[in-house]
Structures are given as C-alpha cells and as structure tokens.
Amino acid sequence: MACKGPGEEIAYETTVSILRNVLSSYPWHVKAVLTLASFALDYGEFSHLADQIDSLDQLTKSLGILKQVPIVLGRQGIEKYKNSFGKLNTLIKLTLDVVECVVELEKRIDGNNTKDVPELSLAIENMSIDVFWTIITIVDCMARICSLINDKDNTQELLPFTGKITSILKSLTDQIAVCDRQIDLESLQGIVEFFKKLIFVEESHNLQQATISNNELVISRIEELKTKNVLLFFSDLDISEEDVSILKPIHKEITKIGQYKIVWIPIVEQWMQIKYEMLQSKYKMEWYIVPHFSSVLGIKYIKEEWKFKNKPIIVVLNEEGTIKHHDAFHMIKTWGIEALPFDYKREKELCKREDWFGWSMINFSLNISTWDKWIEQFHQEATKVKEDLVMGGGKIVIELFGVGKDGKGKDNLGIFWKNIENFYFSKSQKVTELETKTKEIQ
C-alpha cells in the first residue's frame, strides 16, 4: 500500500490490484486480516516515529526522514492535525471491528451448515462485498495519512467511507446475532433430541457405566441405551445417602427386567472430580453416569423445562424417546418398585388405591405407651372425632398412626413428612396435567 493520492477511485484501483496480484489465493476473511495487518504495521511505525521525532536519537530522525514523517514534526505537527487524526482513528477502529466481525462469521461458517443456520447463506453471499469495502477503506486511510505527512488535510472526504463502514458493521453485527440465535436453537433441538433419544451431542464420549471391580472404577461405553426405557436422574454433587439408598433397590429390580436403565447426570456449575470420586467410592453407584456435563443450553433446558432446582428429579423416557414422566422421583420414593413403569398412568392408578396412605406409614410404630401427655390428649380428641356420628354418616374413615421413634430409636418423623411430601407431589402432578389439558383446549 504505497502512498498514493486519496479518493475513492484511486482506492478502488489499488484495492483491485491488491486482490489480483497479492491476495488472490486467500479466502475473503484472510484477505481482510492481511490487509489490516499491513496497514497496522505502517500506521504503527508512523505513530512511533512521530512520537519520537523530538528526541536526540539520530537513528530515529533518519528513519523519520526516510518515512517522510518530519513534515509532521513533534507536538506542533500532531496538535495541528489532531482533529484529522481523530477522524482517521475513528474510521480505523470501525474498520477493525468490521474485520473482527468477518472473522467471527467465518468461524460460524466453518462450524455449521447453511441448512441448520440459514442466515449463514446471506453472510457467505455478502462476505466478498464487505471485505472489498473494508480493503478500499484501509487503502484510503493510508492515503490520508500520506497526505497529512505532506501537510495536506483532506480528511473531510472520509465521510462516505465512514458511513459505508458503519453500515457494514451494523449489518455484520446483526448477522452474527441472528446466526447465534439460529445456532442456539439448533443446539437446543439437538440437546432435546439427546435427552429424548439419548444421543449425547457434546457429552456422547462421556457416557459411562460405573461398576466396582477390585476397588477400581471400571468405565465402559454404552450404546444399548437407545433401545431402553431410561430414567434420567438429575441432581447436584451433594446427592444424599438416602436418595442413593432409594435408587439402589430400583436399579437392582429393573436390571433383572432388562428394559430399564438409570442415567445419573450431575448438574453443576463447575465440575469437581475429587468430590465425584468420593461419592462414587462411598455409595458405589452402578448406574450409568454422565460426568463433566457442561452444555449451557442443556442445563438451561433442564432448569426451565423440567423445573430442576438443585433437588433431585427423575425424568422418564421410553424406548422411543418420549417423555413418560417429568419427575417420577416422588412416586419412586413413595411406592418404590411398585411405581413401575414410572409413568403418569401408573401414578394415577397408585393415587386411586385405597391403601395409598398405608404406604406412607410403613415402618412407623403404633406403640403410644411412651408418648408424652399432650400426645395422649391429642389421641383422645382424635378418637372423639373418629366416633362422631356426623363424620360416620359421611362415610369418612379416620385411622390413627403413631409418628415418632421406633423401637430401635430410629427417628421416623422426618420420614413421615417426606412420604407425605412425596405423595403430595404425586397428587399435584394430576392437577398440573389437568391444568395443561385445559389450557390446550382453550
């Protein structure tokens, strides 16, 4: 880019020459980068010499003479053309932003296809025009610098270039935003398919089956999940021993059946390998595990669509990838393997059973001999209610169950309320399902 006269016509001719004779073998985004790099070298050298021209360094002065910098001498010259350099710097910064956008678009073009990201077609179509205008602008900026060196200020003629580059920058920025939305949508669809069909997009290489053999963790790739009913178990790494103890008998029973598998997907902001290994060693979990799950969109989908709020949930998929239950964990906690096949239909059947409350009372002692006085008083009052003729006439049956510590001193009060909570969630699923259907009808 030797110094030539400024102006759009000269800049056009120079640009055509550069593209034909120097950059013809390079792709468009590389043409833009190399042109900008060449300009940056010349402009940077000029700026450095202009700053140092007042020094006593003879070498600096000699280089300045060779580069024709002496005309713009030191502080006086810089101050004289301060506004002109300001206009040039603004245009140069805009041009740099355009080149960065071109490079960013090229990254998206390389990593995606136009079928999935239609906006890339427009980006590819406009790439050559955008880069051409970028190079013209760079060439003209160099010409303006040469004019300033020769004590001629015509930077007012930069306005058309500034307007064009500003327009291109906005267009490229908008294209990148649209591309990113389309890429995110495509990725999200892929993630949904991953959950529905167990095709793990980024995490496919991480799907593992953990077993304990000679105190060593044995990892194996599993492909058979695509034909199984799958229980996707989401939790953080603070999974409790109680939750593990609930899943272990379920895992044991469904393993016998052969058509069900459990996949644990820890949802964490930052993966902690040591903590994961400690959990594995402590609980000896034998189901499938997806460690290092890091998909931002996947985590967002789980939290927003499946209402994961750091408490464990189990999403049930059938062999076709259809969601049969958005959270069967409460049902499993209440009825255990009786909840098989862990879908909404089975939950509805269990909730209608006459003995549903008895399931929540398992392992509770009926011995009230050790109860305090106020508990005995409550028992007496509750008995009166039970024997009330009005209640009896309404066919309402009341049975009393002792809640507290069993004969071994085990505190069952917490278990009682957890069972009530689990049953409540199972019941609420029915209400939610009804509300959803009502909205669909409306």
Report the pLDDT value the prediction gives residue 216, as an integer from 0 to 100.
Answer: 36
pLDDT on residue 242: 85
To the nearest 10°, the Cα dihedral for 296, 104, 199, 291?
Answer: -40
| C-alpha atoms less than 13 angstroms from C-alpha of 132 in its C-beta half-sphere | 12
- Smallest CA-to-CA distance from 98 within 125, 142, 129 is with 129
Burial category of 322 from C-beta neighbours within 10 Å (exposed 0-12, middle 13-18, buried 19 and up): exposed
Cβ proximity of 3 and 42 under 8 Å? no
Which residues are within 8 A (CB) of 229 and not within 5 positions of it... i.e. 6 or more apart? Answer: 259, 260, 261, 316, 317, 318, 319, 324, 341
What average pLDDT does the segment 98-113 reach? Answer: 89
User: How far is it, in rounded angstroms, from Cα 349 to Cα 352?
Assistant: 5
Note the pLDDT tens digit of each residue in 115-149. 878 898 888 989 999 999 999 888 888 887 777 76
- Taking the alpha carbons at both ends of the chain, their separation in whole angstroms is 68
What b/e string do you get for 389-422 counting C-beta neighbours within 10 Å, with b at 16 or more?
Answer: eeeeeeeeeeeeebebeeeeeeebeebbeebeeb
Confidence at 442, pLDDT banded by 50, 70, 90 = very low
pLDDT tens figures, 60-92: 555 555 555 544 445 566 667 777 778 888 888
- Is residue 38 very low, low, confident or very high in pLDDT (cuts 50, 70, 90)? confident
CATH superfamily of 198-342: Glutaredoxin (3.40.30.10)
Q: Residues in the chain, how many?
A: 442
Mean pLDDT, range 352-374, rounded to an integer: 55
The closest alpha carbon to 94, from 162, 173, 158, 12, belongs to 162
Q: How confident is the model at residue 403 (pLDDT cuts 50, 70, 90)?
A: low
Cα separation of 9 and 399, whole Å? 97
The candidate with the shortest Cα–Cα distance to 220, out of 212, 231, 210, 228, is 210
